[in-house]
A and B are shown apart, each in its own frame.
Chain A
Amino acid sequence: MQKGATYSYEPSPGPLWNKAFAAALAIASTGALAILLRLFFGLGFSTNLNDGHPWGLWITWDVLVGTGLGCGGFGLALLVYALDKREFSSLMRPAILTGALGYSFAGFSVILDLGRYGNVYHLFMPSHWQFNSVLFEVALCIMAYTLILWIELVPAMLERKVILGYRIRPNILERWLYRLLFVVLALGMLLPIMHQSSLGSLLIIAGHKVHPLWQSILFPAYFLISAILMGYGAVVIECYLTSSLYGTPFEVRTLGRLSGIAAWLSLFYLFVRLEDLTFRGLWAEALEGWPGMLFVVENALYVAPIWIVANKERRNNAGWQFVAAILFIAASALYRFNTYWFAYNAHVPWRYFPSFLEILVVIGLIGMEVVLYLAAIHFFPILPASRPVLASSEK
């Protein structure tokens, strides 16, 4: 493995306006319409949320899965900057862009979900700060990390010498940014550890409402690991898609190593999760009824990609890597859906299934993210160049 290979990045080839972009724009516009309906007519009109299920699809999908998928930049930063594994650095920029968009739209979705969004500024007023509230910590920390993600993208934006006719020159901002980069990077590693684990701690106060198979004092650890796994999965899938669409390099061995790390992490996760169950004597419950089935499926989804990655040939095969990545994401996403939704039971006669409008908003937000992603990789050098300046060590 050759160290210090400098990667270059370039804007995506071809015109911005194509069929994929048009389709994403159409979906985004429909979503915008659904959002207007929610704002004018309220949550009862637009969602199926109720007094037994106050949190639904917008929280589980946009926040729990959205920020999880956005953790690729965080997970890679741990490898590249904390453990000095620089072979992964070429994957960073697209992962950070996904993170910035995923986190921003999670925040936007939360605003839509807030019943009294006009008061949201109270989160910034020290007189209202409530340090006992896990949600308070999560809210501030997610906002701070979203800002950090966008700052991490500034170097990519500055690399582009001319933006809309204006010439950009290396200036004071850039010099200071590089001088303070280590502070930004350190925050970029610290903040996700804080809020991703706290997304799990959020449910501890719900006590008996979360099924005992999931309700655990180890919530913070499980949520942190599932965030990193979703992040790594998203990185692999992103590489796969951009290389098949734009011919960017697909470094199969680097991604093989990343899949290997994800598999070890999953193995550790499974070990702790099952030990936790043994410790609390819940094995009988684990195979019982509907929650038991969800539990078995969820953990089988962790075992499957470990099995795929355990074999060296499969690990270094792009197709298998793609499948394993999907499974890492599915397992972690199902875990998160279970904790906040499927295994959440307030023991009241209320059931919840999202409304058409709720689903429309979710799809619309994905459309908006795709539009912005395609525009960003078109205007700025985000994707690794097809012909690296220094050929990377693999080949």
Chain B
Amino acid sequence: MRMNRRGFLQTLAIGGGALSAPSFANARQDKALSPGALGLLYDATKCVGCQACVIACKEVNGMPPEFSDPDHLWDAPLGLSASTRNVIALYKEGGRHSFVRQSCMHCVDPACVSACPVKALTKEPKTGVVHYDAGTCIGCRYCMVACPFNVPKFEWGSAYGKIVKCQLCDHLLAKGEKPGCSSACPTGAIQFGGVQKLLQEAHARLKAAPGAYYPKVYGEKEGGGTQVIFLSALPFEKLGLPDLPDVSSATLSETIMHTTYKGFGMPIFLFALFAFIARRNLQKGKEE
């Protein structure tokens, strides 16, 4: 019995070491921005908080109004929800204030797409739009847990709810039109276009008026990069945009998954080991 256990532990150590040592070298690569990626540049210094984008978004997407006043007179959502895919929030501090837009960031390496167990969330390879398909979704809400920006929202009020989030109006893009929010914006605070161009534009603005902006383009690197990028006068954390590392959390998660399950080597090795030992111990039990 002693020999047996020692043998078992030895095999386990050798086999486990052999499998795990080289495989961390197979870390999953960070995903890169597609050349045809489409996105938005939101410049908080140009936003006047009129909420025209909110109303336009609801119109083109057929979303219901959301009341926050006691008399139910105004469609005035307080945040993203199952009936609101795009919202403008106000941040105040002393005498300064800034608006900030909330909607799907269309991450370059989206955690929600990595998390979804049934491919209900997909990233369009060319435009990079993160699309949701209710017909596929099982409603597990892992995307909500995974999203660093808390964007996907669930239809709690329905008996058979679905996830709701901005899809960059991909039904309009297909017709050659622009997303509703950017068409409606009267001040040009929400600019639609190719992400490469938008990034150039953002840096040009930073260079032209260094004093007017916090010196960073949010979304250029955050969380592995996003296709919706931000400019602001105030630090982005104050506007509720999280301070994220430069790689998506999906990278670490998938590295661990694929290291463990690469070619199913580790499970097959363990299975064979357990099967061999269990068989021997069962036979020994019979003989005694």
Are the chains A and B members of one assembly?
yes
Chain A contact residues, CB within 8 Å of chain B: 3-4, 39-45, 49-52, 54-55, 80-84, 86, 113-120, 122-123, 128-137, 139, 181-183, 185-187, 189-190, 193-194, 198, 201-209, 217, 220, 344, 346-348
Could you tell me if B114 and A132 are in contact, using CB atoms closer than 8 angstroms? yes
C-alpha spacing A346/B163, complex, angstroms: 17
Which residues on A sit within 8 Å (CB–CB) of B117?
123, 130, 133, 135-136, 139
Within 8 A of A (CB), among B236-281: 240, 242, 244, 249-250, 252-254, 256-258, 260-261, 267, 270-272, 274-275, 277-279, 281
B274 and A115 contacting across the interface, CB-CB below 8 Å: no
Checking B140, B156, B279, B282 against A114 with a beta-carbon cut-off of 8 angstroms, the contacting residue is B140
Q: Is B150 an interface residue (CB 8 A)?
A: yes
Supposing A117-B139, A133-B114, A208-B244 touch, asked if A81 and B250 sit within 8 A by C-beta, the answer is no
Q: Is B115 an interface residue (CB 8 A)?
A: yes
Is B252 within 8 A of A204, CB to CB? yes
Q: Given A115-B162, A131-B261, A206-B146, output 11 extra A-B contacts at Cβ < 8 Å.
A: A42-B161, A51-B153, A116-B139, A117-B139, A128-B119, A129-B118, A129-B119, A132-B257, A185-B282, A207-B148, A347-B240
Q: A130-B118, A348-B150 are in contact. Are A189 and B274 (CB under 8 A)?
A: yes
Among residues of A, the one whose C-beta sits closest to the C-beta of B269 is A190
What A residues does B254 contact at CB under 8 A? 132
Known: A205-B115, A208-B242. A114 touches B139 (CB 8 A): yes
Name the interface size band of chain B: 35 or more
Nearest chain B CB to A361 CB, angstrom units: 16
User: Complex: how many Å from CA A62 to CA B256?
Assistant: 26
Contact string against A for B residues 134-163, beta-carbon threshold 8 Å, 1 for contact and 0 otherwise: 111111111011101010011111111111
The answer to whether B249 touches A205 (Cβ under 8 A) is: yes
What's the nearest-Cβ distance from chain A to residue B223, in Å? Answer: 8
A6 to chain B, nearest CB (A): 9
B261 x A137 contact (CB < 8 A): yes
Given contacts A122-B118, A132-B257, A133-B116, contact A183 B145 (CB under 8 A): no
Give the interface SS of chain A, mostly helix, strand, loop or mixed: helix
Which chain B residues border A4 with CB–CB below 8 Å? 285, 288
Q: Is B226 an interface residue (CB 8 A)?
A: no
B1 contacts the other chain (CB 8 A): yes
Given contacts A133-B117, A190-B274, contact A83 B257 (CB under 8 A): no
Contact indicator B136/A42 (Cβ below 8 Å): no
* B288–A3 CB distance below 8 A: yes
State in angstroms the CA–CA spacing of A205 and B116 once bound together: 11
Chain B residues with CB under 8 A of A347: 150, 240, 242
Given known contacts A42-B156, A204-B252, A347-B242, is B278 in contact with A120 (CB within 8 Å)? no
B252 touches A217 (CB 8 A): yes
Determine if B74 is an interface residue (Cβ-Cβ < 8 Å).
Answer: no
The one of A113, A119, A204 that contacts B256, using a Cβ cutoff of 8 Å: A204
Report how far A120 CA is from B140 CA in the complex, Å.
9
Q: Which residue of B lies closest to A125 (CB)?
A: B118
CB distance from B139 to the nearest CB of A (A): 2
Query: Out of A54, A118, A122, which one reaches B141, CB within 8 Å?
Result: A54
A136 and B162 within 8 A (CB):
no
Question: Would you call B8 and A133 a contact (CB within 8 A)?
Answer: no
Closest to A115 in B: B139
Please give, as numbers and ranges, the residues of chain B lying within 8 Å of A44 by CB-CB distance. Answer: 155-158, 161
The answer, among B150, B275, B285, for a CB contact under 8 Å with A346, is: B150
A2 to chain B, nearest CB (A): 10
Task: Indicate if B81 sits at the interface (CB-CB under 8 A).
Answer: yes
In Å, the complex CA distance between A86 and B287 comes to: 14
- Flag whether B111 is at the interface (Cβ < 8 A): yes
Known A-B contacts A81-B277, A132-B250, A135-B142; the reply to A190 vs B257 at CB < 8 A is: no
- Contact partner of B138 (CB less than 8 A), chosen from A84, A86, A117, A203, is A117
Residues of A within 8 A of B145 (CB): 54-55, 203, 205-206, 209, 344
Contacts A/B (CB < 8 Å), 15 sampled: A42-B158, A43-B156, A43-B161, A44-B156, A45-B159, A51-B153, A84-B277, A115-B137, A119-B137, A137-B257, A183-B275, A190-B267, A190-B271, A205-B253, A207-B148
The residue from B160, B282, B288 contacting A42, defined by CB atoms under 8 A apart: B160
Q: In the complex, which of the residues A117, A190, A203, A204 contacts B270, with contact meaning CB atoms closer than 8 Å?
A: A190
Do residues A182 and B250 form an inter-chain contact, with CB atoms below 8 A?
no
Q: Tell me the minimal C-beta distance from A338 to chain B in angstroms.
A: 15
Does B68 count as interface, using CB distance less than 8 angstroms?
no
Residues of A within 8 A of B242 (CB): 208, 347
Q: For residue A131, which residues in chain B have a CB less than 8 angstroms away from its CB? A: 257, 261
Q: Which of chain A's residues have a CB closer than 8 A to the CB of B115?
A: 133-135, 205
Most chain A beta-carbon contacts within 10 A, residue among B145, B148, B258, B260: B145
In the complex, A39 Cα to B159 Cα: how many Å?
A: 7
- Chain B residues positioned under 8 Å from A190 (CB to CB): 267, 270-271, 274
Is residue B72 within 8 Å, beta carbon to beta carbon, of the partner chain? no
Q: List chain A residues, Cβ under 8 A from B260.
A: 220
- Chain A contacts for B146, CB-based, 8 A: 205-206
Are A50 and B156 CB-contacts (below 8 A) given A116-B134, A116-B137? yes
For the complex formed, measure the closest distance between the CB of A175 and the CB atoms of chain B, giving whole angstroms: 14
Among A80, A115, A217, which residue has the most Cβ atoms of chain B within 10 A?
A: A115
Chain B nearest CB: distance from A395 CB in Å?
21
Contact A122 B159 (CB under 8 A): no
User: Given A123-B117, A132-B257: A55 and B159 within 8 A (CB)?
Assistant: no
B92 part of interface (Cβ distance < 8 Å)? no
- Chain A residue at smallest Cβ distance from B145: A206
With contact pairs A3-B288, A50-B156, A190-B270 given, residues A84 and B281 touching in the complex (Cβ less than 8 Å): yes
Contact A40 B159, beta carbon cutoff 8 Å? yes
Of all chain A residues, which has the CB nearest B121?
A130
